[in-house]
Amino acid sequence: MRAWYEPDRERFNDLAWEDFKDEMKDEFLPKDWEDEFRLKVIDMRHRKTEEFREFMIRFERANMVLRGTRFFLEGQNLTNQLEAAACDDLRKMIIHKKELAAIWTKPLSDVKKLREWRNEVILLDRKRMEERSRIAEFVAAANIVNKPTPSSSRPRTDPPAGTTRLPKLTDAEKTVLSNHNGCFKCRKFYANHKATDCKNPWPDAKTYKTITEADGLAAQAKQGKTSTSKPVASIMEIGETIAAIRSYSPLAATTGVLDTGTDSDEYVKQISVPHIIWPGLIHNENGPTWPRVYDMLINCGSPSVLIDDDLVSQLELRRRKVTWHVPPLGDAWGKAAGEDVQPKEWVKLKVSSPCNTWTAVTVRAYVAPSLCAPVLLGRSWLKFNKLSGDHENDRLIHNPTGLDILRLPKPSPQPIKLSPKQRREERKREWKEQMEMVEKKRKELGKQLNEEITEYLKGRKIPSKILLMERGRAAGERRRLNLGRIVKLRRGEERKGEGTEADLEGPDNGEGKQTELGIGRERGYRGIVS
């Protein structure tokens, strides 16, 4: 730090304290130190054996490091995180204490509200610790009273006194007996009981012979059963390379836990069940990988979350160095079964359902060069996301909401937002469709009306179209003949000597008007025409 401070001492001395801190953070802290430290603060948990006062001191001390950043917790946000980090017993007491929620409605400053909330929770924690001490004392006293004596706690499996003692079983004999469901006391094959439950007498030491594999095979042939000398594990083939996570318990190498001397086929219908595969989206800097959906393997037997090395490169996730000790994870890194290695890199992993109905919290995932699935979600992912498995019904329940993430409901489609131009075109299209529908309806009604009229006129005497046309022609011919006669009458060709053309038109009354005689004649001519 001296090498950084001395060359620019004068400028640093003129800076305000907050500006100097910012300069120092930029120089000595990584860019994402806020995110890293925030995760550490959020991951802090209150232990059942720890007083809540001590936990709050640790938590607030870590929270003060984030002061001045957007991740600093204060006020009700701080109490919410403390409540979530409390142990199960204390958290239930806080939830049922309704007075704690009412503190934040009081007309007090945030500092006084926080102090009052802290004091109330400390009182609840004292009651919890006192109750825990009473239970521990009661259990200790009960264990002292009911502690079994050596003579009664273990059944007698030694041969009676005064008899020749049997030779101790060798490791080879124990292996043969174990492979053939034998008893370590009576030393019989397929005895269907353990040495602690054996009621048979001890073998005669004088006639006893060392047990061999040939004896076990002979007993097997008599029983007609298949030897179970080697456990067989059934694994679903996902790819050419199968990754395994070594368990600290020897039960992980078996397909089930059955009593010694029983045949698994008599009780278990299937020797294996399908893996739990959860399809989901993986988030990177650009958001979720839609529409690419990855099949992720949920493994409640793995303590860690793993992600394939090729997938990390494909999604361009930021790799980080592992700086803490990690228990050996066996051949998930492509190593031999007995060769233990530790992961060297990890990434931040955030996944969500394909329809974004449910999104998981961000967790750390170790990078594995060779993995059976794109992502292996272990117990840490299940725990931090508050998921519990119902293996009988193949369900994975999110405890806060009760959702089954294996059967998430599909969200309702969101309405599409249109621009003004698109809305105008949509209205035109709707108007055109309505007009076409009206025109179609009009044609249908016209056709229906014509059919009804045709049906109504059936059997009635109606002149045909041809007859009407002939009548029209005859009427026209008559009109022409009558007009010809009128013209001849006016010319005086039919009536000779009955007057001049002026007489036919009627006498003039001196005012340029026709007389009634002329008008009557004209009306008569018109009557003939009509």
The 3 state secondary structure assigned to 172-241 is HHHHHHHHCCCCCCCCCCCCCCCHHHCCCCCCCCCCCCCCCHHHHHHHHHHHCCCCCCCCCCCCCCCCCC
The closest of 373, 230, 400 to 302, measured between CA atoms, is 373
Residue 192 near residue 226 (C-beta atoms within 8 A): no
In order, the DSSP letters of 399-413 are TTTTEEGGGPPPPPP
β-strands 395-398, 351-352: how paired?
unpaired
pLDDT, tens digit (0-9, with 9 covering 90-100), for 50-67: 888 889 888 988 888 888
- The confidence score (pLDDT) of residue 144 equals 59
The Cα-based distances of 443 to 26, 63, 436 in angstroms read 80, 79, 11
Q: Report the C-alpha gap between 60 and 63 in whole angstroms.
A: 5
Residue 121 near residue 77 (C-beta atoms within 8 A): no
- What pLDDT tens digit does each residue of the chain (530 aa) get? 777 777 777 787 888 877 887 777 777 777 777 777 888 888 888 888 888 888 988 898 888 888 878 888 888 888 888 888 889 888 888 888 878 878 877 877 878 888 888 888 899 898 888 888 888 777 776 665 445 444 444 444 455 555 567 788 888 888 888 878 888 888 888 887 878 778 888 888 888 888 888 888 888 777 754 444 433 333 333 333 334 444 334 334 333 444 444 444 444 555 678 888 888 889 888 778 777 888 898 988 888 899 988 888 888 899 999 888 776 665 555 554 445 567 889 999 999 888 777 889 999 999 988 788 889 999 889 999 999 888 878 888 888 888 888 887 665 555 667 788 888 888 898 889 988 988 888 888 888 888 887 777 676 655 555 556 666 677 777 777 777 777 777 676 545 554 444 444 444 444 444 444 444 444 444 444 43
Mean pLDDT over each residue of the chain, to the nearest integer:
74
Angle formed at CA 38 by CA 32 and CA 42, multiple of 5 degrees: 150
Q: Report the C-alpha gap between 290 and 356 in whole angstroms.
A: 10
The Cα-based distances of 524 to 264, 389, 504, 529 in angstroms read 128, 114, 12, 9
- The confidence score (pLDDT) of residue 412 equals 55
Residue 86 near residue 71 (C-beta atoms within 8 A): no
Q: Report the C-alpha gap between 78 and 74 in whole angstroms.
A: 5
Q: Report the C-alpha gap between 254 and 244 in whole angstroms.
A: 14
- The confidence score (pLDDT) of residue 96 equals 83
β-strands 363-368, 306-308: how paired?
parallel
Residue 369 near residue 243 (C-beta atoms within 8 A): no
Read off the amino acid at residue 303. P
The Cα-based distances of 5 to 8, 26, 33, 272, 454 in angstroms read 6, 13, 22, 65, 109
pLDDT, tens digit (0-9, with 9 covering 90-100), for 401-427: 888 888 876 655 556 677 888 888 888
In order, the DSSP letters of 466-520 are HHHHHHHHHHHHHHHHHHHHHHHHHHTSSSTTS--HHHHH--B-SSS-B-HHHHH
Residue 49 backbone dihedrals phi, psi, to 5 degrees: -85, 0
Tell me which CATH code domain 270-407 carries.
Answer: 2.40.70.10
Residue labelled with tokens 């003579």: 151
- The confidence score (pLDDT) of residue 328 equals 62
Q: Report the C-alpha gap between 202 and 195 in whole angstroms.
A: 11
- The confidence score (pLDDT) of residue 362 equals 92
